[in-house]
Chain A
Amino acid sequence: MNKNKKSLFSFGKSVNSNADEPCVNRREFLSKTGKIALGASAVVIGGGLFSPESFAAKKIGIHGNATLLKMARDIYPHDTLENKYYVKVMSPMSEAAEKDSDLFKLLAEGVESLDTISVEKFDLKYVDIKSESDRVVVLKSLEASPFFQKIKGALMMGIYNNPELWPRFGFGGSAWEKGGYINRGYDKNDWI
């Protein structure tokens, strides 16, 4: 029946779900490429092996980067989407922070407040909170901050405005060079 609603409901209850684990219930999304998302510890990017340490802008540090990545996945959680797509958004920001002290301050202090609130509320650092809904509680309390909004904005562009990902969301992108859809199925619908 209503698979989508089910997974929406279960989100609230599944306290132990880990956002990094591919959710088998997600329909088509995964099957579109057939690839399986790797865990947070190692991701193939640009042919090479990539670990959170290497996005690594040294100044932000391993813990900072890991926190930002976790946060990124929590903001727009697509369980079957590989880490590299989130890293591709976060990494340039961390790198820029090496030289841009205002940005560094924004990110470093943002990570710090995430942890402070996490410890206050759940007695754990942000990355160590197992339940997504608990992490969401922490994020929600920072939602209005420039730190959160900057990362949210960058992710919205990096995920949903990323032509490489459009086929996986079922969006066709630029069509004029292919002659549009006039002869490519604009009227096709086999279920209504």
Chain B
Amino acid sequence: MSAKFDLNDDSLVVIIGSGAGGGTLSNELAQKGIRSVILEAGKRFTFDDIENDEWKMFGKISWLDKRYVEGPARIAKDFPNLPAWIVKGVGGATMHWAGVAMRFQEHEFKMKTTNGTVAGANVLDWPVTLEEMAPYYEKAESKMGVCGTKATGMPYHGKSSHYKVVEEGAKRIGAKCEQANLAINTEIRDGRASCQVNGFCMQGCKVGAKWSTMYTEIPKAEATGKVELRPQSMVLRIEHDNTGKVTGVLYADKDGNQHLQKARIVAVAGNSIESPRMLLNSESSMFPAGLANSSGQVGQNYMTHTTGGVYAEFEKPVHMYKSTVVPGIVHEWKDNDPSRGHLAGYELEVLHLGLPFMSAFLNPGQGGWGRELANSLENYDNMAGFWICGEDMPVESNNVTLHPTEKDQYGLPVPVVYKTDHINDTRMRNHAYDRSKELFDSIGALKVNNLPPYPASHNMGTNRMSEHARDGVVNRWGQAHDIKNLFVSDGSQFTSSGTENPTLTIVALAIRQADYIADQMKRKEI
């Protein structure tokens, strides 16, 4: 049974956002008997709302509030108001996500130690190591049901045609390729169905085989009677007292009425654009630069992964859409080997788009028309391809700031996202384009198309973790350096992006953070 709490109850943890970070944190706390309210800006969707239709789902669940993209990168031209492709709804981007769940590599927690200072980048070691994270990764894999891991013992999905094509290409050029570790059931598990290969993982999984907080963590948390979820509750600002501790959260309900929910602890998990925006919007005379921002790092170091797409056309059908969205990963270049001409690593993630999205992303923006594009789309059924996912250098000037004059429907300054390549990102992407072409050429590709980055699905780094308060926003537990009872619980904590998709690490961090919060509450530290 869902709980119901009073606005004046100041004994609660108030969690902002119900996605990978917030949804997980609420359930982990609830299992320990700790009560929380989740304030979620979006609606609560049901399985009936999920359709196997790319544009319909995009229109239904995406975060489409006004945003600006700036910077010289092509994305600012192609998608001037859509820096990120993420979700406004219960479950957050875990509705859209493809389910790829990989652990960071050891060196990825210490990029500064590994490569030293990188000119033009703001590289830092995480105040956490892989060794410390390992048990939490194990718990996360078990919770989420990641196939191909020791934690679950679930087998991989079978090899789809799309996977087989890439696997053969990888073999011919001597590159490592494996089926993907997906948080998608290959057996009935945890009360959820096994994957039936609909191929629309990124539109929300109609049968619930893919882990999403929408139908795992949230209902489990509610069932404890310790959690109240308030959908369509947009947080406007976080309040504090004159000792500098946070005391509550001001939000607008679906009718625009404002409420102040009191809090003992506040955990921010609105994804990496909204989380820093909330902290910046909460500025006060005591914290003129925004909450938890004595380092000046709130909103800085915005990372999206170094991405791009590569789609090859073949003579014969691949029917890539008859597959889980990401059936496999080419791991060959995930290590940190500067002899390649770039630092850090990348993965080629075998990934399909449906025809509607392929038409929009193959050559996005104003110039995406004409016979060459049309010919490629006629070859849709004969395509195989990748999404490139590589480590993105943290750069201070890649950031989220507030528009000086323009306000959104809630009266809040519109976020401005500045994002452009560090030279390392460009070199890495070019390396990935070249290796992908070799791979596809080795199996007789007729044509290989390079796609520029599309709106970011992975967003990280804007409230980063650091050992020292001067370098970042939160400490090794995601606790604000400046404010003891304020936590960041989503991907914005990332000190560096790693090569791997972020969600498994977000979930592992949330599980670990819940242990810490419980301990600190018991000791009356917070």
Residues of A whose CB lies within 8 Å of any CB of B are 2-5, 7-8, 11, 26, 29, 74-78, 132, 136, 143-144, 149, 152, 156-157, 159-161, 166, 169-176, 179-182, 184-192
Contact (Cβ within 8 A) B366 A149: yes
Chain B interface SS verdict (over half): loop
Q: Which of A2, A174, A182 contacts B195 (CB 8 A)?
A: A182
Contact (Cβ within 8 A) B447 A182: no
Q: Which of A29, A179, A187 contacts B160 (CB 8 A)?
A: A187
Contact (Cβ within 8 A) A181 B371: no
Contact (Cβ within 8 A) B164 A29: no
Chain B neighbourhood of A143, CB < 8 A: 366-367, 369
Contact (Cβ within 8 A) A5 B446: yes
Chain B neighbourhood of A77, CB < 8 A: 370-371, 374
Chain A interface SS verdict (over half): loop
Contact (Cβ within 8 A) B52 A192: no
Contact (Cβ within 8 A) B161 A4: no
Contact (Cβ within 8 A) B378 A26: yes
Q: Which of B51, B322, B367 contacts A186 (CB 8 A)?
A: B322
Bound form: Cα–Cα A192–B405 in Å:
57
Residue of B nearest to A167 (CB): B381
Bound form: Cα–Cα A180–B317 in Å:
18
Q: List 7 A-B contacts (CB under 8 A).
A: A143-B366, A152-B369, A156-B360, A174-B53, A182-B196, A187-B160, A189-B318
B133 within 8 Å of A (CB atoms): no
Contact (Cβ within 8 A) B206 A132: no
Bound form: Cα–Cα A187–B318 in Å:
10
Chain A neighbourhood of B378, CB < 8 A: 26, 29, 78, 169
Chain B neighbourhood of A187, CB < 8 A: 158-161, 164
Contact (Cβ within 8 A) B371 A180: no
Q: Which of B55, B161, B369 contacts A189 (CB 8 A)?
A: B161
Chain A neighbourhood of B161, CB < 8 A: 185-189, 192
Chain A neighbourhood of B368, CB < 8 A: 152
Residue of A nearest to B56 (CB): A161
B373 within 8 Å of A (CB atoms): yes
Which chain B residues in 154-171 approach chain A with CB under 8 Å?
Answer: 158-161, 164-165, 168
Bound form: Cα–Cα A29–B372 in Å:
15
Chain B neighbourhood of A169, CB < 8 A: 355, 377-378, 380-381
Bound form: Cα–Cα A5–B448 in Å:
11
Contact (Cβ within 8 A) A186 B160: yes
Bound form: Cα–Cα A5–B449 in Å:
13
Bound form: Cα–Cα A99–B51 in Å:
34
Chain A neighbourhood of B315, CB < 8 A: 3, 191
Contact (Cβ within 8 A) B375 A174: no
Contact (Cβ within 8 A) B369 A76: yes
Chain B neighbourhood of A11, CB < 8 A: 371-372, 375
Contact (Cβ within 8 A) A170 B317: yes
Q: How large is the interface on B (under 10, 10 to 19, 20 to 34, 35 or more residues)?
A: 35 or more
Chain B neighbourhood of A173, CB < 8 A: 52-53, 354
Bound form: Cα–Cα A180–B157 in Å:
14
Q: Which of A8, A160, A182 contacts B356 (CB 8 A)?
A: A160
Bound form: Cα–Cα A187–B354 in Å:
18
Contact (Cβ within 8 A) B316 A171: no
Q: Which of A3, A157, A181 contacts B322 (CB 8 A)?
A: A181
B258 within 8 Å of A (CB atoms): no
Per-residue CB contact flags for chain B residues 195-226 toward chain A (1 = under 8 Å, else 0) read 11111100000110000000000000000000
Contact (Cβ within 8 A) A172 B367: no
Chain B neighbourhood of A175, CB < 8 A: 52, 197-200
Bound form: Cα–Cα A76–B369 in Å:
6
Residue of A nearest to B376 (CB): A4
B359 within 8 Å of A (CB atoms): yes
Which chain B residues in 162-201 approach chain A with CB under 8 Å?
Answer: 164-165, 168, 195-200
Chain B neighbourhood of A29, CB < 8 A: 378
Q: Contacts A174-B53, A181-B322, A192-B168: A78 and B199 contacting too (C-beta < 8 A)? A: no
Chain A neighbourhood of B370, CB < 8 A: 74-75, 77, 136
Chain B neighbourhood of A185, CB < 8 A: 161, 319, 322
Bound form: Cα–Cα A26–B382 in Å:
14
Q: Kindly list 12 other residue pairs between chains A and B, CB separation below 8 angstroms, not including A182-B195, A189-B164.
A: A2-B446, A8-B372, A11-B372, A11-B375, A157-B356, A169-B378, A172-B321, A175-B199, A176-B200, A181-B198, A181-B322, A182-B197
Contact (Cβ within 8 A) A166 B355: yes
Residue of A nearest to B367 (CB): A143
Residue of B nearest to A145 (CB): B366
Contact (Cβ within 8 A) B158 A170: no
Q: Contacts A144-B366, A156-B360, A192-B443: A172 and B375 contacting too (C-beta < 8 A)? A: no
Contact (Cβ within 8 A) A160 B359: yes
Please give me the 5 A-B residue pairs with the lowest Cβ-Cβ distance, nearest first. Answer: A170-B381, A180-B196, A160-B359, A174-B52, A189-B161
Residue of A nearest to B317 (CB): A170
Residue of A nearest to B321 (CB): A172
Bound form: Cα–Cα A185–B160 in Å:
9
Bound form: Cα–Cα A180–B160 in Å:
13
Bound form: Cα–Cα A59–B21 in Å:
56
Q: Which of B55, B159, B322, B366 contacts A184 (CB 8 A)?
A: B322
Chain B neighbourhood of A74, CB < 8 A: 370
Which chain B residues in 96-123 approach chain A with CB under 8 Å?
Answer: none
Residue of A nearest to B382 (CB): A170
Q: Which of B164, B198, B355 contacts A171 (CB 8 A)?
A: B355
Bound form: Cα–Cα A126–B92 in Å:
48
B313 within 8 Å of A (CB atoms): yes
Residue of A nearest to B327 (CB): A186
Nearest-neighbour CB distance to chain B for A145, whole angstroms, equals 9
Which chain B residues in 354-397 approach chain A with CB under 8 Å?
Answer: 354-356, 358-360, 366-375, 377-382
Chain A neighbourhood of B355, CB < 8 A: 160-161, 166, 169, 171
Chain A neighbourhood of B197, CB < 8 A: 175, 180-182, 186
